Amino acid sequence: MESMSIIAVLAFLAGAGLLTLLWALPYIHSTRRKLSEYQMLTQIGQAVTARLDHDEILRTIHRELGRICDTTSFYIAFRQGDRIHFDLEVKDGTVVAKRVRPLRRGITEYILDRAEPLLVRVDVAERRRQLGLEPNRQPTKSFCAVPIFIGGSAVGVMAAISRERENAYDERDIELMRTAAGQLAIALENARRFHDEHSRAEYLAFLNNVSKAAITSKKPVELLNHVVEEVQRTFEFDHVSIGIADYARKEVEVKAECGKEEYRIGLGRRVSLEATMLGIAGQRNELRGRVIPDPKQDESLHAVLCHPITYGETLLGILTVECFSRANFSSEEILTLGTLADVLATALHNAMTFEEMEYQSITDCLTGIKTRRYFLESIHAEWSRASRSGRPFAVVLLDLDKFKNVNDNLGHLEGDLVLARVGRILEQRCRHSNVVARYGGDEFIVLMPETGIDQARTLGERLRSSLNADPLLRERQVTGSLGVASFPLHGASIEEIIRQADQAMYRSKSSGGDCVSIPTGVREGAAESQEARVGI
């Protein structure tokens, strides 16, 4: 009897303990969750504050939230202008590519406008209908989202979606995500400030590099190529180009470009100043930027910025940058590119002025061919090269027959017309590698690199024939007497080669003109060495 009492007491105590345990289970579960939430929020705070990369911060938030609640489907999106940018989006456990869509009557816009969290435990489609929102194409069982505040304004949304379970989220999840969103906002703002400071330092270094190139560069195309490469390296735009204004044709010609191959339009491409945004920017002499749809993808963007390059009131060219993944350019980018355009304008004007002066110094203003000075510089360089390599070069010297009669009988204006016509014929009939120059009043000279005496005589005959056949020259009875000489066959020095060509030319004149002559003798030992070089 006594043992049965003891057993009863023990049974009572055991039952009471079990009841206490059962009563305490929810409290224990809640305590564990709160502990897990506290640990998770601590981890989020530590993780995001240690990161300065925007995308890495978002991935960290998603990963840590997934330890407590269902984030199999999840997104973090931000409103920028009239677009929603999905900077992180996870569907059924897989991170998908970033996307952008226009504003619409969506659940994300609803949360942004109200600046309040939204919890839908069951029948999300019906709740969307009640709120007057557009239906979602994918079925959703429950939904939990909070706004992201930066600077006191709701700028983004963090949302978790369950497509399989109803009641997947509760008020504790809202509070958890609200706290996480606050930490996210702080981390993003810190990352933005760091990025701005880093970008500012990069932009200053960029402008410094461009300024150095602008000071030292004397070739416009060389300068422009350096600039587009620096722009691409600093900003990583999809396409960068600089076009030079051609007022005669009312066009902008692309002189330098850089960026992704699929977006290049090609050097030398001409764009009318009277059409397209680039042309409008040039005509109005102002900055232009706009967003247009990319035909390859309906929801993607195409941001274009055109900045005129002006010196005083003169439009020199247009700087164009393009991005196919965003809606606009930051104020820092626009300011930096504007400063670049100002620096580039002065540098480009100086380079173009120098190039024009250089061109005028080596170009005969009457005939458009090279000057005697340029020819002498070229033949000295060719003589040095040929002396080292043992390769030949040749010279053709031309004097016009009966040119004095034109000046005396028809006047000097008519004589100038003849000289200009001869210069054009010579340049058209010679190879691109040849140097065609005006040597004196009515004397012309041609330098032919890598050319022996036989080829030179052939060219001389072709030039003579072309002059003889020209209607304008034939009408004025102007022909040409030509003399040809070759290095090293007819001389070891520049002076000797030109003297031999000059003597041969006078033999042509003595023969009545309109013919080609070569020197009568060759330098001792030169014939044998030339035959050995050509394998005779």
Write out the two tokens for 88.
Answer: 């992180």
How would you write 272-322 as a 3-class SS string?
ECCCHHHHHHHHHCCCEEEEEEECCEEEEEEEEEEEEEEECCEEEEEEEEE
Statement to judge: residues 391 and 522 lie in one domain = yes
Q: Could you tell me if 87 and 227 lie in one domain?
A: no
Q: Could you tell me if 304 and 382 lie in one domain?
A: no
Domain containing residue 52: 39-191
Give the CB-side neighbour count of residue 503, counting CA atoms within 13 A: 12
Tell me, yes or no, whether 496 lies in a domain: yes
Residues 312 and 403 in one domain: no
Q: What is the pLDDT of residues 14-71, one digit of tens each?
A: 555 555 444 544 544 454 555 555 555 555 555 555 555 778 888 888 988 888 889 9
Q: At residue 388, what are phi and psi to the nearest 5 degrees?
A: -75, -40
68 and 153 inside one domain: yes
- Sign of dihedral through CA atoms 260, 262, 266, 269? negative
In terms of domains, do 390 and 528 share one? yes
Cβ distance 461 to 484 under 8 Å? no
Residue 24 lies in a domain: no
The per-residue pLDDT for 287 is 47
pLDDT the model gives residue 299? 46
Are residues 225 and 125 located together in one domain of the fold? no
Write down the pLDDT at residue 43.
Answer: 58
Residue ranges of the chain with per-residue pLDDT less than 70: 1-52, 191-203, 213-217, 274-301, 522-536
Query: Do 514 and 397 lie in a common domain?
Result: yes
Q: List for the chain the helix, strand, coil content (%; round to 5).
A: 50, 25, 25
Q: Rounded CA gap, 131 and 114, in Å?
A: 12
Clarify whether residues 182 and 299 are in a common domain.
no
Question: How far is the C-alpha of 120 from the C-alpha of 161, rounded, in Å?
Answer: 10
**Is residue 17 included in any domain, yes or no?**
no
The SS3 of residue 265 is coil
Q: How far is CA 236 from CA 224, 318, 323, 421, in A?
A: 17, 19, 9, 50
Residue 86 domain-assigned?
Answer: yes
If you search the block for the tokens 């970008």, which residue do you land on? 199
CATH number of the domain at 350, please: 3.30.450.40
Indicate the residue among 335, 359, 383 that finishes a domain: 359
26 lies in some domain? no
Q: Which helix (H) or strand (E) holds 126?
A: helix 124-130
Distance CA 274, CA 307 (A): 16
* 211: in domain: no
Interatomic CA distance for residues 69 and 177, integer angstroms: 10
Quick one: pLDDT at residue 278?
A: 54
Strands (E), 381-509: 393-401, 435-438, 443-449, 479-487
pLDDT at 392: 94
pLDDT of residue 291: 41
By the 8 A CB rule, do 132 and 155 touch?
no
Assess whether 283 and 316 both reside in one domain: yes
Please tell me whether residues 402 and 521 are part of one structural domain.
yes
The predicted pLDDT at position 483 comes to 96
- Total domains in the fold of the chain: 3
334 domain-assigned? yes
CA distance 355 to 219: 7
Q: Do both 284 and 224 map to the same domain?
A: yes
pLDDT of 25 reads: 47
**Cα–Cα distance for residue pair 167/31, rounded to 1 Å:** 21
